[in-house]
Amino acid sequence: MASATLRGVLRTSPVVNLVKYSLWGIETFRRLFDRLEIRNDRIALYRPLSKRDDQLLYGPTLTAFSEIAKLSHDSDTPVLVVLIPDHIQVLAPQILNEYDAGQPQRILSRHLARFSHHAS
């Protein structure tokens, strides 16, 4: 609980953000920040998933996309989904060497493919 509270303060503090963005031009700082940042809650997106993890991490997003697909179909309105990689996947992919770097996009793509028959 305390680490979650501290993380929230560090993410929302104007002073911390000012310092972070002031140091962002230093490559060593960026690498250190990225290594520490990826070790937070986001790393779970890249670990092997159990059914429980899958539901906790992806369930709300997949449910929302299912609802959007249903509304899109019912109103005959096309929807375009663009999968954007996590900044770590692009800028520092080596951080994810021990994980499944493509897992989030694969899970979402597989879910969205269920609705592709609605496309014209």
Q: How many domains does the chain have?
A: 1
Q: Encode pLDDT of 42-101 as tens digits.
A: 777 888 888 777 788 889 999 999 999 999 999 999 989 998 888 778 877 887 888 899
CB 31 within 8 A of CB 92: yes
Rounded Cα distance, 41 and 24, in Å: 22
The boundaries of the domain holding residue 59 are: 2-118
How does 92-113 read in b/e, with b if 16+ C-beta sit within 10 Å? beebbeebebebbeebbeebbe
Which has the closest alpha carbon to 60: 108, 11, 106, 109? 108
* pTM as predicted: 0.63
CB 95 within 8 A of CB 38: yes
